[in-house]
Amino acid sequence: MSKENKIIIHEGIIASKIVIIRNEKVILDFHLAELYEVETRALKQAVRRNISRFPDDFMYELTEKEVENMVSQNVIPSKKHFGGAAPFAFTESGVAMLSSVLNSKKAIEVNIAIMRTFTKLRKLLSTNQDILKKFEQLETRLSNHDDQFMLIFEYLKQFEEAKQQHLEQENRKKIGFRKSED
């Protein structure tokens, strides 16, 4: 395939279409249809014809409550956006399965781009978790240092108070009988 004909979809565009529903990263059917440049109706029809390829961990239909949540989070403008039909949410595995159902060049290229984006997001999340773990370790070490510094400051404060008492004792006006030195 020549470079002029190759379809390149920016990972940022794909990543912006990935949402979290039921604690899973998914892409909604209308976003996939937009990426594949097909009608949502046609995409859903192809999925329904091959429904045995899409178990619940690959694709599921959103509940009314989930749709309302999507509207409130501004993922979609309103429920009317779907034309009365509940949207399908596709997991990473479901998106991969779509390439066997939608067998156009465009669908294959888009699927490759989507799978690469999911992989990069997974790596990024892994890297972020490593950084978070190291940060927590550093924070623990620093909190131990904080305790040690507080102890040092407490000792310094006690030393300063003792020194202050000693100076007050030395500078105190002496009382009692004084012998004159004439």
What tens digit of pLDDT does each residue of 89-140 get?
A: 999 888 888 877 877 777 777 777 888 887 887 777 777 777 777 777 777 7
Is residue 43 in a domain? yes
In a domain, 166, yes or no: no
Q: Which residue has the higher pLDDT, 151 or 1?
A: 151
Compute the distance between CA of residue 105 and CA of residue 36 in angstroms, rounded to an integer.
10
Report if residue 132 sits inside a domain: no
Average per-residue pLDDT for the chain:
79
Residues 58-84, mean pLDDT to the nearest whole number: 77
Strand stretches in the chain, DSSP E:
18-21, 24-28, 59-61, 88-90
* Structure confidence at residue 89 (pLDDT): 92
Host domain of residue 37: 11-126
CA dist., res. 41 & res. 30, Å (int): 9
Contact 98, 32 (CB under 8 A): yes
Can you give the pLDDT at residue 59? 93
Is the Cβ–Cβ distance between 95 and 27 less than 8 Å? yes
How many Cβ atoms are within 10 Å of 69's Cβ, its own excluded?
Answer: 13
Q: Residue 70: what pLDDT?
A: 76
Residue 121 is assigned to a structural domain of this protein: yes
Q: Quote the pLDDT of residue 81.
A: 63
In a domain, 178, yes or no: no
Is 120 inside any structural domain? yes
Are 39 and 66 in contact by the 8 Å Cβ rule? The answer is no
Residue for token pair 């409130």: 72
Instruction: Specify if 4 maps to a domain.
Output: no
| pLDDT classification of 9: cutoffs 50, 70, 90 | low
Q: Supply the pTM of this predicted model.
A: 0.57
Task: For residue 78, tell me if it sits in a domain.
Answer: yes
Instruction: Give the count of domains, the chain.
Output: 1
How far is Cα 137 from Cα 131, in angstroms, rounded to an integer? Answer: 10
